Amino acid sequence: MKKRFKLVDLDCANCAAKMEDAIKKVDGVKDATVSFVMQKMTVEADDARFDDIMKEIVKVCKRVEPDCEIVL
């Protein structure tokens, strides 16, 4: 399953790159992109566990960029 999410308060392109790298390391994630310019995140992950994977992605992103909010 592939879904796109809006990001709020993503501060810089460097943070976006760090978030993208961290998301790709989450178990079950097939691919991910984080766009600072568009303030969007695209995640491709295992369908059966997508909700659990998204919970882990939110945790990982908060560690990298505490101010950024993912609009689920």
Residues forming beta bridges with residue 70, ordered by sequence position: 7
In which element (H, E) is residue 15 found?
Answer: helix 13-24
Confidence of residue 56 (pLDDT cuts 50, 70, 90): very high
Number of alpha helices (DSSP H) and beta strands (DSSP E) in the chain: 2, 4
Please write the tens of the pLDDT for every residue from 2-11. Answer: 999 999 999 9
Percent of the chain with pLDDT over 90: 99
CATH assignment, 2-71: 3.30.70.100
Domain ranges of the chain: 2-71
> Across residues 50-69, what is the average pLDDT?
96
Give strand pairing partners of 71.
6
pLDDT at position 49 is 97
